[in-house]
Amino acid sequence: MGDLKTKRLKIIITGANGQLGRCFQDIAEHYQDYDFHFKTSKDLNITRKDQIDSLFAREKFDYCINCAAYTAVDQAETDQENAFLVNAEAVKFLAEACKVQNTILIQISTDFVFDGSKTTPYTEESIPNPINVYGASKLKGEQNVQEILENYFIIRTSWVYSEYGHNFVKTMLRLGAEREEINVVDDQIGSPTYAGDLADAILKIISLKATNYGIYHYSNEGAISWCDFAKAIFEIKGINVKVNPISSKAYPTAAKRPVFSVLDVSKINRFMEIHCWKKGLKNV
């Protein structure tokens, strides 16, 4: 771990109204030494290079945490242009501004950069091979960061959920209130990640003044299927719903999903404690 000069750090967080952005807002009050600048898409359109350059030149940020993303996985299959605009081109604009202003970029990426063909957790050295447009656009964003910057953290995460926005947990709770039984895919395996834990982990990296730049994997510990995740949600909430396991073939989607996308988090785990997915779920 290297050192940065001690001062009140100025941090811009894009995508402030998204799941992760909202979780950062929740915990910001616990980090009085940091000067947070939360930017929604209305405050800052990251697809506009002129807006980014103007803001960065004026404010001189120490860190940029890019939580803004095009995350509609199925929609991206027929909206490739916008997916790549937000997840790749806009990331390039941010990286260029960070380079000029000597800002450290923390770019959020995804397990969907992998094809899911492995049966052991993906490490940071595993070769990406996305099988859908969303994954391809996020990988291109990663590559843009790596080509432009030396001082960056790319953090790949998986199966993110929170109290906010649209996510699997909220969908299950809604369906559980409406139905007596539901069908959930049981042949896709991953690690659910509470966005609040991810936000804490990112601020831990900043607080450590880390200069071990590069790619890191972060998810909550443990691997599970969507079906078993749904069962755990209902069990914790005390909702009596029958959950029927089905195959992915029985629930076709526009975008292919990785069958196995568990991330190896041992690299980042050297610097911080990582909670089990069930603890994060109980918090929500």
Q: Residue 264 corresponds to which amino acid?
A: D
Q: Of 31, 17, 207, 14, whose CA–CA distance to 93 is shortest? A: 14
| Distance in angstroms (rounded) separating the CA atoms of residues 63 and 105 | 6
> Is 213 considered catalytic here?
no
Alpha helices in the chain (DSSP H): 19-27, 49-59, 80-84, 90-101, 133-148, 168-178, 195-207, 226-237, 266-269, 277-283
Residue with tokens 């959930």: 184
Task: Determine which one of 134, 152, 164, 194 is catalytic.
Answer: 134
Neighbours of 60 (CB within 10 A): 10
Give every CB contact of residue 58 below 8 A, 6+ residues apart in sequence. none
| Distance in angstroms (rounded) separating the CA atoms of residues 212 and 144 | 19
What is the dihedral angle through the alpha carbons of 182, 184, 190, 192, rounded to the nearest 10 degrees?
Answer: -20
Question: Which of the residues are catalytic?
Answer: 134
